Each structure stands twice: as structure tokens, then as C-alpha cells.
Structure 1
Amino acid sequence: MKKISKGQVAVWILAILPVVLVAVVYQRLPAQIPIHWGLNGQVEYGDKWKLWIVAGMSLLMAVMFYFQPKFDPKRNNYEKFSVSYIGFQFILMLFMLALTGICITEALRPGTVDVAMLVCLFVSLLVVYIGNVMPKFRMNWFCGIKNPWTLSSEAVWRRTHRVAGRLYFASGVLGVIGAFIPNNIARFGLLLAPLLMASLVSTALSYLWYRAEQRVC
């Protein structure tokens, strides 16, 4: 039986913490809690039991990430980037814990947190990390830039993810800067527009590189 790494155990502990946090404060929460923040700053409220859904997403994702390599035709490649794969899960669980903390804080003390700023900041930092580790990803069906061209050529996969890593890193940095702009539309624009562009450019390049590779062959 394959030994479970300490990193994987740490991921599972982080995945459980949002549920534990909700359980600890649940009785103190008001019946209606903030569940959605619009770009115009308007807050929508819902029943407090919905916070269990937010917290439970961490557990769901932790289970998904643990088992999905077992269903991947390229399952053996995960060993080649296992540290990056575990690291991504760890950062994602921290992100989900932070989101749960934001919801609880705003439920107990409304107006304490600049939600849009923190969400943009946390997402941008997550993108920075993804960009940093993306060149280490090896061909698989679940992580990275997955399209017919990257999944058909190891060379195209590696080349695409080297470029995509730089583009995603730069997108994340722009998002971090944008998070501190006191305008929600500008914040999300500086986060989403560069990220979309990075994805489109990476996909287009993978197609061109694959076509070039086929012409040579």
C-alpha cells in the first residue's frame, strides 16, 4: 500500500478546519448571514445553514483531488509532480479556510472586512502560486492546460506550461495590485481579464506548436 505523505495529511487537516470553525460558532450566528457580495457593494443574505455548504466544499475538493489521479490514464505522471500537486491542494485549502473565515466574520460583525479586496487578493495569490508550479506539471487529464494539442504531445505540453506559468504568474501579480484599487469593477477586471488572456494565449500557442510539430513529422 502506498504511504500517505505528511503533505497529504496536512491537506486533509486544512480541509476539515472550515467545518470545525463553523461548528464552533454556529450557535452564535444570526439566522440570516451574508452569502453574496455584489460588485456594487450590495450584500445578499441567506439562511445560516448555507455556511455548511461553503465549509463542506473543502472536504469535497480534498476527496476529489486525492482520488482523481486513480482515474487518470496518465496516473503514473503524478509521481513526477507530486510536491506541486500537494502544494496546490494545500494553498487551495488555505483559500477555502479564509473564505469561511470571511463569511463568519461578516456574519458576526458586518462591515468588518473589505470582502471584494480580500477575495481578489486571495484569488490573485492563488494564481501566482499556480503560475509558479505550472511548469512542473506533467501530462495528465486534470491539472494544467488540457486540450487536444497538449494531451497529444509531451513536447507541446511542456512548452505550453512553461509559457502558461509565466503568464499566470504575471496575471496573479496584476490581480494583487488591482486588489488594492478602491473600485470593485477595476479590482475584478485586473484579476479576470489578464487571467482570461493568459488562458487564451496559452491555448492558441499550444495549437500552433502542435501544428508545427506535425508539419515537421
Structure 2
Amino acid sequence: MKKISKGQVAVWILAVIPVILAAAVYARLPAEIPMQWDLGGEVGYEPKWHLWIIACLGPFLAVLFYFMPRFDPKTRNYTKFFGSYLGFQAVMMLFVLIINGICVVEGLRPGTVDVAMVICLVIGLMMVYLGNVMPKFRMNWFCGIKTPWTLSSETVWRRTHRVAGRLYFAAGVLGVLGAFIPNNIVRFGLLLVPLLAASLVSTALSYLWYRAEQRVC
């Protein structure tokens, strides 16, 4: 973890791209730009300087993700899934970049982006990726299904994340498919309901498996 890998450098580069993009187009943006979209398609405008809040989120998260393992009691475990942890960071940086890009494009050319579709599609793809890498996560305090029961048992942690990976993958697929349905309520329903269900089922299973383990002991 002490050596800075090429993957970590790539994450940092991704993190600063939104800042560079904001700086490049800021003078061309109108005084107010669209930054909020509701399910009915209504657009909320905010002062363009708010774009810097989103743009700077990337560097903030990059620094946070880099230092978090150092404060984790399970810090040694990060070496066991460091590639997946870097991938998770990269996905988050791409998400910030896409959000920043949407605000820029809609500020310059309103109505260009189907925002609801893009957001649902991107989050769905993120969940598909997360579902793939989640079984590789090792016990830690910052990534994965962190319940008192998964953090108390390596066995419960592994079982929970194997199942959670499948559930999040399936939820992500539904979210991706739902993104192409031309109804915002249906889109977000197919995204959020399966994600909520995946989280609740994973949490409940971690409790049941922990209780079963304690009875055996």
C-alpha cells in the first residue's frame, strides 16, 4: 500500500479531469446552469459556480480513498483486494466526471442529454461492476456490506459478500435495462427497488448466518 501504483496514478488523473473541464468551459457557461432534475422532467437551475462543488468532489474523494485504509483497523487486508479497491475508486471518479459532464453539456446546450436515462444507466453499470468485485473484498471498515455481524466473523463476511455480489449484479442489470424505458418513475423504480432489496437481503442474511455460527460455537 505504501508504493504508489500506476493504477493509483490513473485514479488521480481521472479525479482532476472534472476540474480541468470546469475550468475550460466556465467562461462560456451562462450565469445559471441546470443542476437538478426531478422525475417529472422539471429542471432546477443554480449559479454556475456550483459546478466547482461537483468538479472538486473528484479530488476530495481521491484523497479520501487513498488515506482511508490507513485508518482502518483491518488495514492489512487491503493488500488482498487492492486491485478491486482501485477499480472501485476509478468507477467513482468516472461517475463524478459524468455528472460534471452532464451539467456542462446541459449548461451549454440545454436538452441535449436524457439525464434520467444516463443516470440510471451509469448507476446500473456501477452496480454490475460492484457485484463482480464484491466477492473479492476482504474484511474492512469502509468497503462492502459492513454490519456488526460481517465485521465479527470472516466466514460471515465471505458468505455475505458472495451472495451480495450476485444480488447487486442482478440489481444493476435491471437498472441498466430499466434505463431504456421512457418513463422516469419506472426507470428509477427498476434501479432503486432492486438495490434496496439487495442491501436488505444481504444484511438479513449476515445476521442469520452469524446467529447460526454462534449457536454452533
TM-score, normalized by length of structure 2? 0.99
Matched, 1:19 2:14: no
Which residue in 1 is equivalent to 2:182? 182
Q: List structure 1 runs of 4+ shifted beyond 3 angstroms.
A: none
**How many Å apart are 1:25 and its aligned residue?**
0.3
How do 1:68-107 residues align onto structure 2 when only pairs under 5 Å count?
Answer: 68-107=68-107
Which residue in 2 is equivalent to 1:147? 147
Identity %: 74
Alpha-carbon distance in structure 2 between the residues aligned to 1:46 and 1:103: 10
**How many Å apart are 1:3 and its aligned residue?**
1.5
**How many Å apart are 1:162 and its aligned residue?**
0.1
Which residue in 2 is equivalent to 1:48? 48
**How many Å apart are 1:143 and its aligned residue?**
0.2
Which residue in 2 is equivalent to 1:197? 197
Deviation readout 1:55-77 (Å, 9 max, x if unpaired): 11111111110000000000000
* Range moving further from structure 2, 198-207 or 91-100: 91-100
Deviation readout 1:77-98 (Å, 9 max, x if unpaired): 0000000000111111111111
Alpha-carbon distance in structure 2 between the residues aligned to 1:53 and 1:105: 17
Q: Which amino acid aligns with 1:3?
A: K
Which residue in 2 is equivalent to 1:6? 6
Matched, 1:129 2:129: yes
Structure 1's unaligned 5+ residue stretches are none
Alpha-carbon distance in structure 1 between the residues aligned to 2:209 and 2:137: 18
Structure 2's unaligned 5+ residue stretches are none
How many residues in Structure 1 have an aligned counterpart in Structure 2? 217
**How many Å apart are 1:49 and its aligned residue?**
0.1
Alpha-carbon distance in structure 1 between the residues aligned to 2:131 and 2:37: 27
Which residue in 2 is equivalent to 1:58? 58
Alpha-carbon distance in structure 2 between the residues aligned to 1:20 and 1:137: 32
Which residue in 2 is equivalent to 1:32? 32
Residue 151 of structure 1 aligns to a residue in which SS? helix
Deviation readout 1:80-136 (Å, 9 max, x if unpaired): 000000011111111111111111000000000000000000011011100100000
Q: Which amino acid aligns with 2:101?
A: G
How do 1:159-174 residues align onto structure 2 when only pairs under 5 Å count?
Answer: 159-174=159-174
Q: Which amino acid aligns with 1:82?
A: F
TM-score, normalized by length of structure 1? 0.99
**How many Å apart are 1:2 and its aligned residue?**
2.3
